[in-house]
């Protein structure tokens, strides 16, 4: 809002108005600009920016014995990262979240890229394939998670029949029920659901590469792999970077899938606990532990720091080194 007030402070008829291309003659206070901007800025500020700032502020407060609630500086963060009660849970959730993210980077994005390259190879029926492969992405995470929970449920036996068909019946296990496999299984369900989105982004980048570039390489005798490796891949690097940062933000903010399939306790034995479920439990409480808004805000503050680090690394590290490609 401060920015809007500035407009009013500028003396009428100064350089401010010089820049207005359409109406040079207007010299009065630009009410219409304020009217156009106000609703969006108001809703956005009140329901997004203010809650975020107030949440960060709450993470700096806590109950002080004898004084009620007061300012404690970074004490909550220190408690979260080092105390016997909080630290193991926090680091467990953080580690699991890193695994969750790494699996997305190693499986989701390469598979998405491979699918995009295949769809781009002028194959018949590409639109049908694209539509079908994208379908899981339109479903709620709740539905996707629960559908897979049914499929993987040993009681139903669907997963055994399928594995047995491929001669891998020995591999059948209650994947979501075992501590060692639950997290990887959930990550792969998430990959299954979301792979369509990076696929479409890669496809958009591939479509924009002029045919002449690819054809020139082919004429020079390059095979498909070399065309991909030396022509297409370097040209779609900006999209690869965007997909990486989107994956990062999405993964460190994830919650629904774990909550829907494993509940807020993120079982078995917290083996699928990630930052989102940890935040939910801390804020609302669970079993005998009461909810704690200040520690909840602190967990959200840590998530904010993690996401911000990722975004800044992208903006200042990766994007700066990459040139804008103009065709």
Partner 1 sequence: MALAEATRPRIAGGRNWTWWRGALVHAALLAYSALAIFPVLLVLVNSFKTRRAIFANPYSLPTAETFDLVGYRTLAQHANFPLYFLNSLIVTAGALFLILLVSSMAAHALAEYEFRGNTLMSLYLAIGIMVPIRLGTVGLLNLISSLKLVDTLWALILVYTAQGIPLAVFVLTQHMRQLPRELKDAARIDGASEYRIYRLILPLARPALGTVAAISLLPIWNDLWFALILAPSERTKTVILGTQVFLGQFVNDWNAVLAALSLSIVPAVVLYVIFSRQLIRGLMAGSIK
Map residues 166-195 to x or -, x wherever contact with partner 1 holds by CB under 8 A: --------------------------x---
Q: Site for partner 1 (CB under 8 A): which residue of 11, 39, 68, 167?
A: 39
Contact flag: residue 21 with partner 1 (CB under 8 A): yes
Asked if residue 50 lies in contact with residue 66, where contact means CB atoms within 8 angstroms, the answer is: no
| Residues in region 248-267 near partner 1 by CB under 8 A | 249, 253, 255-256, 259-260, 263
Q: Supply φ then ψ for residue 241, to 5 degrees.
A: -65, -40
Contact flag: residue 208 with partner 1 (CB under 8 A): yes
What does DSSP assign to residue 97?
A: H
Q: Site for partner 1 (CB under 8 A): which residue of 61, 93, 279, 281?
A: 279
Residues near 310 by beta carbon (within 8 Å), at least 6 away in sequence: 245, 248, 249, 252
Closest CB to partner 1 among 270 and 301? 301
Contact flag: residue 74 with partner 1 (CB under 8 A): no
Cα separations in angstroms, 140 against 136, 190, 263: 9, 11, 16
Closest CB to partner 1 among 103 and 144? 144
Contact flag: residue 164 with partner 1 (CB under 8 A): no
Map residues 211-230 to x or -, x wherever contact with partner 1 holds by CB under 8 A: x--xx--xx-xxxx------
Give dist(CA 277, CA 94) in Å, integer: 11
Contact flag: residue 316 with partner 1 (CB under 8 A): no
CB atoms within 10 A of CB 221: 7
C-alpha angle with apex 277: 271 to 282, nearest 5 degrees? Answer: 110
Closest CB to partner 1 among 64 and 150? 150
Q: At what angle are helices 158-165 and 141-152 packed, to 10 degrees? A: 70
| Residues in region 280-299 near partner 1 by CB under 8 A | 283, 293, 296-297
Omega cis (within 30) before 167: no
| Residues in region 130-159 near partner 1 by CB under 8 A | 130-136, 138-144, 146-148, 150-151, 156-158
Contact flag: residue 313 with partner 1 (CB under 8 A): no
Q: Which helix (H) or strand (E) holds 61?
A: strand 61-64
């Amino acid at each position: 809002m401060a920015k809007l007030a500035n407009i009013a402070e500028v003396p009428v008829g100064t350089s401010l108005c010089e820049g207005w291309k359409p109406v040079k003659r207007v010299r009065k206070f630009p009410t219409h600009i304020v009217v156009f901007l106000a609703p969006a800025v108001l809703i956005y500020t009140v329901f997004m920016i203010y809650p975020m700032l107030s949440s960060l502020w709450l993470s700096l407060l806590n109950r002080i014995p004898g004084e009620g609630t007061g300012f404690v500086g970074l004490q909550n963060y220190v408690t979260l990262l080092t105390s016997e009660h909080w630290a193991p849970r926090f680091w467990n959730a953080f580690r699991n979240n890193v695994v969750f993210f790494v699996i997305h980077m190693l499986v989701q994005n390469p598979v998405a890229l491979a699918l995009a390259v295949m769809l781009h190879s002028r194959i018949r029926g590409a639109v049908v394939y694209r539509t079908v492969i994208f379908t899981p992405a339109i479903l709620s995470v709740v539905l996707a998670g629960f559908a897979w929970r049914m499929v993987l449920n040993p009681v139903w036996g669907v997963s055994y029949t399928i594995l047995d068909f491929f001669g891998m019946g020995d591999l059948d296990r209650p994947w979501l029920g075992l501590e060692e496999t639950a997290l990887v299984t959930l990550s792969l369900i998430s990959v299954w659901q979301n792979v369509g989105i990076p696929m479409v982004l890669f496809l958009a980048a591939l479509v924009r590469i002029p045919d002449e570039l690819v054809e020139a390489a082919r004429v020079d005798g390059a095979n498909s792999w070399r065309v991909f490796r030396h022509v297409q891949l370097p040209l779609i690097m900006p999209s690869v970077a965007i997909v990486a940062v989107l994956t990062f933000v999405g993964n460190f903010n994830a919650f629904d899938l774990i909550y829907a399939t494993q509940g807020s306790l993120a079982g078995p034995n917290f083996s699928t606990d990630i930052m989102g479920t940890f935040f939910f439990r801390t804020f609302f409480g669970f079993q005998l532990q009461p909810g704690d808004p200040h520690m909840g805000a602190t967990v959200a503050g840590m998530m904010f720091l993690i996401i911000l680090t990722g975004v800044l690394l992208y903006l200042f590290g990766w994007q700066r080194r990459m040139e804008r490609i103009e065709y």
